[in-house]
Structure 1
């Protein structure tokens, strides 16, 4: 039975795995809310935050994110962000749970993000810097599969996108 389930998943058309958006719902992160800086970053005018358009491990190339994003433990994500220089900017950090949730796109799933602004984002969990209040071994993640949030063990390997306060 398990073999059949695995094989049937492989037989799904690729379109079944593509982003799905309901245009009858207003966009929560319309492209007009962002300034595209041309250097692999984007500025969110609503919150005054500058985001890396790619996940850590990907490269901004030809107006898209290429390569495989890194999967890091929570501690590795925080360490990687410390002192990170990108697009000649410093001050990059792992976003808190509210900041990361602010870039989820509520009208879309798989991934639940504006793919014009954040191309090739995995439809999976991303670390936040927010630790779980009642469990020091866990921290908050945002799932770009469906815009949900949850807490995960800090030793798990999860994707990361960095942010900084815009100047």
Structure 2
């Protein structure tokens, strides 16, 4: 069951872009919207559509516009376009990602500070009114979207999907013993913790669980929403 307590966070947005925020009361309405509409949903595209619909209904879409002109775009490893404002756009999926995890600060060259850990409900609430780089339509990625960021330098076993059969020994772990950790493009996403990240996708067979992706083993798994504290990286539609 969704926890209906309202959580309050301190707002701290220095010019260099620390990723903290304050939470209005409508965050609880947003999570309630998701709780109602995501019951029994298994298809990842449907999860994404429902998340965006609830966000549009309850989010505060008055994000401040960034001052100045972003730096000229640089493409990282032929795939990730650096937008010059702490975000990158993946040419493979046309999704725009925050380069830093929530709680970290983009310095212009790297992600400084310690990534925040939170439960699934708080992750959704945080994304609902989050404004960064002139946009307020940030959201927690679906499991399929988050999984596209996994990079296994020595190959990878098949990964599971929430609308597919769960097979414990083929849940997407990286192959070999000496693969790069964290299992992500570290030039595009510097200083990423080699840990678990929440997706917005609930587990269809047990509504108290949700899917997450690990960036130490490259695995995909599901655990209770309220019992575990994981990192969060937000995403939005590309330009």
TM-score (norm 2): 0.56
How much does 1:62 deviate?
Answer: 3.4
- Which residue number corresponds to residue 132 of structure 2? 86
Q: Does 1:136 align with 2:182?
A: no
| Aligned equivalent of 2:219 | 148
- Residues 30-76 of structure 1: per-residue CA shift (max 9 Å, x gap): 72111011110000011110000000010101310001110000000
Looking at structure 1, the residues matched to 230 and 188 of structure 2 have their Cα atoms a distance apart, in angstroms, of: 21
**2:235 alignment counterpart:** 163
Q: 1:122 aligns with which of 177, 189, 193?
A: 193
Aligned structure 1 segments of 4 or more residues deviating by more than 3 angstroms:
none
Q: CA deviation at 1:83?
A: 2.0
Alignment partner of 1:97 is 2:143: yes
Structure 2: stretches of 5+ with no match in the other structure = 1-75, 154-178
Higher fraction of strand: 1
Instruction: State the Cα distance separating 1:153 from its structure 2 match.
Output: 1.1
Q: Which is bigger in relative contact order (C-alpha 8 A, separation at least 6)?
A: 1
User: How many residue pairs end up in the alignment?
Assistant: 138
Whether the aligned pair in 2 keeps the contact of 1:109 and 1:144 (CA below 8 Å) is no
SS at 1:158 equivalent: coil
> Which of 58, 61, 77 is the matching residue for 1:31?
77
1:96 is displaced (CA, Å) by: 0.2
1:47 aligns with 2:97: no
Unaligned runs of 5+ in 1: 1-29
Distance 1:91 1:44 in 2: 17
